[in-house]
Structure 1
Amino acid sequence: MSKEEGAQIQSPEANVDRSLGTEPETMEKGTAEHINLNNNVTAKIKNPLADLSPAQVIRDVEEFAHEFELTDILPHLRKGALVARDPADYVSVPDMSNEEITAIHNEKAHKWKQPRALYFTIILCSIGAAVQGWDQTGSNGANLSFPVALGIPEEGPDAARNQWLVGLINAAPFIASSFLGCWLSDPANKLLGRRGAIFISAIFCLLSPIGSACAQTWPQLFVTRLLLGLGMGLKAATIPVFCAENTPASIRGGLVMCWQLWTAFGILLGCSANLAVKDTGDISWRLQLGSAFIPALPLLLGVYFCPESPRWYIKKGRLRNAYRSLRRLRNTDLQAARDLYYIYAQIKIEQDISGTGNYISRFGELFTIPRVRRATLACFTVMIAQQMCGINIVAFYSSTVFQQAGASVTGALFASWGFGLVNFIFAFPAVFTIDTFGRRTLLLFTFPNMAWTLLAAGFCFYIPKESTAHLACIALFVFVFAAFYSPGEGPVPFTYSAEVFPLSHREIGMSWGVAINMGWASVLSITFPRMLAVMTPTGAFGFYAALNITAFVMIFFWVPETKQRTLEELDYIFGVPTAMHMRYQLFEVLPWWINRFIFRRRSAHLEPLYKLDHIATSD
């Protein structure tokens, strides 16, 4: 393994004398270079241990072990810290066993070889995402019958009022999520931990769909869906963070994006349930809404079998518990000890930018601390882009759209099921591409393609309804649109937003991201029934096609890449000023892309913006 390859496994940079408690004059290798995490104009990413000699690292580790009563694992901590200091040269660390050397080597050679506890955590939490997908499609199918059943038909003298009302009922979970549910994440995580917050959210997601199925009036249905939103918001703001904090950097994107994979699976299951109960008469819409409780049940029963986030334990000063969690989440004791000390060293550096205020103060710091503000901007961009792309006009209202295209109730439900199937199948490629091509690349590839497919679907409404090509072409382009969405803008927003904030602002930052996403989902849900009536499907689809291009430009300028970096390394990525990042994209990346892919010049070279500093030579 080359030095460069090793550097990809572990990295970043810092003020070592602050982070490890060492004085500059006692360091054998001189004073560590200080990187301003709020203004990283050098765009460097360094390892906080790299400027220390092996002897100094050992001394600091021993102090760490005595301070936190971890002397029983001191041999692992010593070796782990030396491996973290110079990941490319792990073979030369004294007393390394063959098993430990193989385990470190496999972090790149066989990166998917991980403990069962890690996969159990990811799978179980991802099942929670199915609640959101299932609810979207449950209301999608129920839209065909519940308005009439509850006395708010979308035709007749009160059609305009009722269209807004149906949109409001569909939007209720997203309204509650954006205004309250997601903001519960910070206090719930602080008091109960990641697992406790997820457990509370699962209770809401279990009981609220059952309440929706029993509603006798539209206000009752509206209230039960508001309660569902509390659980959805708390869950959406916590689960991606929980998964990101438990997962190694090399596969973090591929595993955390299981949130989207299971959301897509929930959409497919919801579409399947809609079809299964479509002939049950007056109770069909009740079954379609109520069935969304099913995926919440395993989440409720299994979440405490998962290890708690080690970073949450470190934040609380419970280093022994953090090590126990890491031991379940890593293949060897050495890797657990290495990650414990390395995360601890990096988190200490984050104190340069960590606010110590209360809930309100931390929210304000999302916009006032430069490093955090850049993460807030990037999170805002990817989250709002998920609504701007138009995916939810299909997820919420595909049955209505297909019915307007001339399909019967059964045909509309089958077409919606096809959308769910495509959305699920095409989410799989992202598992393997999100950590290789990267989050930013997937977004920049998919948005232009979503724009033209959505526009094409809109223009297909001009095909005469008498022609079989009318419905077939609309369905085709909607399916192709979903195929482009699923590996790009589908998995990236929640994965990306869970990564970009420092530990001190991670809960409040993720709450901000979910509030933006759910809030605009509610706007879309409320407005689309009326938009269809006033603008026609062609105008509505064309409007969202234009928003795709707008989102593409926003992502190009405001969203840095985060692939294969530890969560703490991202402090250096977001330490780079936004203006510097925008100039690089405009004057370096864009000319390179034109030369390489338009003029086909293979000699075109792009100098990377971020520079990974290597270990200094030993004395």
Structure 2
Amino acid sequence: MSDDVKGVVEEYASSEEGKDKVPNLNANVSARIKNPLLGIPEEQLMADVEQFAREKDMEDILPLLKHGAIAAQNPLDFETQKGLTGEERDVLRYEITHKWKQPRSLYFTIILCSIGAAVQGWDQTGSNGANLSFPEEFGIGTNSTKDTFLVGLVNAAPYIASSFLGCWISDPLNNWLGRRGCIFFSAVFCVLAPIGGAFTQTWEELFVTRLLLGIGMGSKASTVPIFSAENSPAMIRGSLVMCWQMWTAFGIFLGFCANLAVMNTGRISWRLQIGSAFIPAVPLLIGIYMCPESPRWYMKKNRYRNAYNSLLRLRNHPLQAARDLYYIHAQLQVEAEFIGKSTYISRFFELFTIPRVRRATLASFTVMIAQQMCGINIIAFYSSTVFKEGGASEKGALLASWGFGLVNFLFAFPALRTIDTFGRRSLLLFTFPQMAWTLLAAGFCFLIPRESKAHLGLVALFVFLFGAFYSPGEGPVPFTYSAEVFPLSHREVGMAWAVATCLFWAAVLSITFPRMLTVMTPTGAFGFYAGLNIVALVMIFFWVPETKQRTLEELDYIFAVPTSKHASYQLTTWLPYFIKRYIFLDKTAHLEPLYHFEGVAADESQLDLRETHFQEKS
């Protein structure tokens, strides 16, 4: 920890008042979300900024850094804060009233990286359609247990490679090459591996090319959401990072479109379906170095000038860049005091030993494994097979799968607004019960006689409804959530853990579901996953804190709250309030908040009031 912040923090923490007021980042029993600059006298703050500027060789922008520190010290009261000019107040006011007015470089970064996410979705649906023909091409098209396993193994190959290798190499790649370098590395694999898969002559060759694809998919999925989260302002971070999932859904839809487009090309149809997944990785490969590097990665490497230059491209005004630079720096110093430095191996074990990090590990594990427990990938991987089991022709199965892809993509759009207003946790708590009953209903519809026209129609209807509830909830939340919950010191290895969890269980699902269909029938398999939705709902209720509207560094305080305190609050305070307010419609019901904010940016309700106030004044 540098002397400029460390001295003040230690002096304050050692005082009687400080012992009660400074939250412990490993045991924040008071549930305070605290601005580390709050309460520092103006003279001391200015001296700290001067020392920071000298240490980081940034004295040429010292006046701007001082104004940025003033804005960061009390972001709620910039209207009356001394030391800011009228123009600077206008900039900070505009930031609240026009939160979607962001620089082109920020939107270019988000869009480009999100397009790369389409590789994940496109590959899922490419293999989905190819399942109808490649097994026969390679002589594994029988219904024997061995052949069913081999088909599942080929489909699971990218997820096996991702969970055991691709995700985990993202940490050293990020360390050596930066966020952009790691993404470029992954894009190379995502371009070449699908093309190679299209030319394979045996199932073993296809399996190997899909393993290589998994290396790219894993390192990309572990880095792109982090890159987007670190570049985005807190108020709209969820909406921007969730573009990853929206483009994954779009990739699923495009993959279904490609399946239909090449359906009548004969024996090469599956090759085109597998090979076409390289397309969305091309713009990512070409354009990634046109994006600004993550400011937080530069700060981790002590390259503060580069971090400031990146922030200038990612924020509308130099004051915002200076403010965010100093505020992030101050938070990182506090974080370093509780976490310290470590090696790659020790960082992995610290995911489970440092209390603040362990809680993030548990929460990210929960949202990631829930994505597989909810059953989305039994549709994404095997919808063509499922609809064919429901009595559809090959063309009908592909058309029904295309419809599911369209629903999955269109219903991702509502989350652009709700993920930062309704919140990550709230979206999950609302959508999981809906996914449970729609999946169960789809399973029971398989019991309708196949001769009935209602059989296939109702199966498709409830599968589409399932997709409509998944897309704005469990669809965008896991990758967005996991990218933001870990401290900077453990962000890469933490995200690798989260993505490896998701993709490992995706591989398990891919291998086991063909056999489940045979042994349990579609009704039993769908009912099994409907039950897992309820299990996931309970896990989320107790273990997943809300993260909306907080900066990445402020989340240290959220995850410093003991899990037992969070779980107890949900059971004894939030649940009774919910029942009174929304079941018995008692409008007088009052919810005592869990978190107490001290000098940090306002939550959504406060921002709405301030935005209305500023608009009325103007």
Which TM-score applies when normalising by structure 2?
0.95
Note the C-alpha offset of 1:438: 0.3
The code of the aligned residue for 1:446 comes to T
- Correspondence for 1:11: none
**Equivalence map 1:478-517=2 (5 Å):** 478-517=463-502
**Equivalence for 2:53:** 65
Residue aligned with 1:580, SS: helix
Q: Distance in 2 between matches of 1:475 and 1:139?
A: 20
Q: Distance in 2 between matches of 1:351 and 1:26?
A: 17
In 1, Cα distance between the equivalents of 2:339 and 2:187?
Answer: 31
Matched, 1:553 2:532: no
Residues 69, 476 of structure 1: alpha-carbon distance in 2 compared, 3 angstrom cutoff: same
Matched residue type, 2:242: M
Q: What is the SS of the residue equivalent to 1:339?
A: helix
> Residue 554 of structure 2: which of 555, 569, 591 is its match?
569
Equivalences for residues 95-494 of structure 1 within 5 A? 96-155=84-143, 159-494=144-479
Deviation at 1:106, TM superposition (A): 2.2
Question: What is the distance in 2 between the residues matched to 1:25 and 1:309?
Answer: 32
Q: Which residue pairs with 2:615 in the alignment?
A: none
Deviation at 1:53, TM superposition (A): 1.4
* SS of equivalent to 2:229: helix
CA distance in structure 2 between the aligned counterparts of 1:23 and 1:424, rounded to whole angstroms = 47
| 1:389-410 superposed Cα distances (whole Å, 9 cap, x missing partner) | 0000000000000001010110
Aligned structure 1 segments of 4 or more residues deviating by more than 4 angstroms: 15-18, 23-27, 29-32
Q: What is the alpha-carbon distance in structure 2 between the residues aligned to residue 179 and residue 300 of structure 1?
A: 24
Unaligned runs of 5+ in 2: 601-618
AA of the residue aligned to 1:560: P
Task: Confirm or deny: 8 A CA contact 2:76 2:599 kept in the other structure.
Answer: no
CA contact (8 A) 2:364 2:481 kept: yes
SS in 2 for 1:284: helix
Any stretches of 5+ residues in structure 1 without a counterpart?
Answer: 1-14
User: Deviation of residue 343 (structure 1)?
Assistant: 0.2
Q: Distance in 1 between matches of 2:86 and 2:104?
A: 22
Deviation per residue, 1:90-144 (Å, 9 max, x gap): 1334564444322211222111010000000000000111000000000000000
Tell me if structure 2 keeps the 8 A contact 1:19–1:346.
Answer: no
Give the whole-Å Cα distance in 2 for the aligned partners of 1:562 and 1:217. Answer: 47
Residue 77 of structure 1 aligns with which residue? 65
The aligned counterpart of 2:605 is: none
Partners in 2 of 1:537 and 1:505 — Cα distance? 41
Are the aligned partners of 1:204 and 1:230 in contact in 2 as well (CA < 8 Å)?
A: yes
Could you report, residue by residue, the CA deviation over 1:225-252 in whole angstroms, capped at 9, with x for unpaired residues? Answer: 0000000000000000000000000000
Q: Quick one: distance in 1 between partners of 2:504 and 2:229?
A: 23
Structure-1 separation of matches of 2:296 and 2:9: 26
Q: 1:389–1:551: 8 Å Cα contact kept in structure 2?
A: yes
Alignment of 1:9-48 (within 5 A): 19-22=5-8, 32=18, 33-48=21-36
Aligned residue number for residue 6 of structure 1? none
Deviations 1:52-107 (A, max 9, x none): 01221111101101111111111111111001111122133456444432221122
> What is the alpha-carbon distance in structure 2 between the residues aligned to residue 30 and residue 297 of structure 1?
59
> What's the offset of the Cα at 1:561?
0.2
1:189–1:196 CA contact under 8 A, matched in 2: yes
Q: Match of 2:606?
A: none
Q: What residue identity is the alignment partner of 1:585?
A: Q
Compared CA separation, residues 61 and 20, structure 1 to 2 (3 A): farther
The answer as to whether partners of 1:16 and 1:48 remain within 8 angstroms in 2 is no
Q: CA deviation at 1:45?
A: 0.8
> Which one-letter code corresponds to 1:150 in the other structure?
F
Q: Aligned with 2:30: secondary structure?
A: coil
Please tell me the residue identity of whatever aligns with 2:131.
Answer: N
Deviations 1:495-521 (A, max 9, x none): 000000000000000000011000000
Paired residues of 1:355 and 1:365 also in contact (CA < 8 A): no
Contact 1:79 1:93 in 2 (8 A): no
Distance change >3 Å, CA 591–CA 182, structure 1 → 2: same
Contact 1:272 1:417 in 2 (8 A): yes
Deviation at 1:359, TM superposition (A): 1.2
Contact 2:408 2:471 in 1 (8 A): yes
1:86 to 74, 77, 90: 74
- What residue is the counterpart of 1:7 in the other structure? none
Q: Is the 8 A contact 2:439 2:462 kept in 1?
A: yes
Aligned residue identity for 1:236: A
Please state if 1:526 is matched with 2:514: no
Q: Which amino acid aligns with 2:47?
A: R
CA distance in 2, matches of 1:87, 1:503: 22
One-letter code aligned to 2:102: Q
Query: Deviation digits for residues 431-457 of structure 1, max 9, x if unmatched?
Result: 000000100000000000000000000
Q: What's the CA shift for 1:614?
A: 3.8
Is the contact between residue 246 and residue 412 of structure 2 (CA under 8 Å) also seen in structure 1?
yes
Q: Corresponding residue for 1:4?
A: none
Distance in 1 separating the partners of 2:359 and 2:499: 17
**Cα shift at 1:24:** 6.4
Q: Which residue of 2 aligns with 1:10?
A: none
Task: State the one-letter code of the partner of 1:463.
Answer: I
Q: Deviations over 1:518-558 (max 9, x none)?
A: 00000000000000000000000000000000000000000
Conservation of the 8 A alpha-carbon contact between 1:20 and 1:345: no
Instruction: Report the AA paired with residue 19 of structure 1.
Output: V
d(CA) in 1 for partners of 2:571, 2:489: 32
**One-letter identity of the residue aligned with 2:201:** Q
The structure-2 alpha-carbon separation of the partners of 1:538 and 1:326, relative to structure 1 and needing over 3 Å to count, comes to: same
C-alpha distance in 2 between matches for 1:477 and 1:383: 24
Over 3 Å counting, the alpha-carbon distance change for 1:133 and 1:24 in structure 2 is closer
One-letter identity of the residue aligned with 2:239 = G
Deviation, structure 1 residue 262: 0.2
Q: 1:16: how far off? A: 11
**Once the 2 structures are TM-superposed, how far is the Cα of residue 355 of structure 1 from its aligned partner?**
4.1
Separation (CA, whole Å) in 1 of partners of 2:340 and 2:450: 60
Amino acid at match of 2:560: G
Equivalent residue of 1:45, what SS? strand
> Does the 8 Å contact 1:18/1:349 carry over to 2?
no
What percent of counterpart residues are identical?
A: 69
> Residue 333 of structure 1 aligns to which amino acid in structure 2?
P
Shift of 1:305: 0.3
The 8 Å contact of residues 231 and 295 in structure 2, kept in 1 or not, is answered as yes
Judged with a 3 Å threshold, the aligned counterparts in structure 2 of structure 1 residues 95 and 585 are, in CA distance, closer, same or farther, namely closer
Note if contact 1:460-1:474 (Cα within 8 Å) is conserved in structure 2: yes
1-side partners of 2:86 and 2:281: how far apart? 43
* Aligned residue identity for 2:217: M
In 1: Cα distance, 2:16 partner to 2:89 partner: 30
Partners of 2:259 and 2:50 in 1: how far apart?
Answer: 61
**Alpha-carbon shift at residue 473 of structure 1 (Å):** 0.2
User: One-letter code of the match for 2:537?
Assistant: F
Q: Secondary structure at the match of 2:29?
A: coil
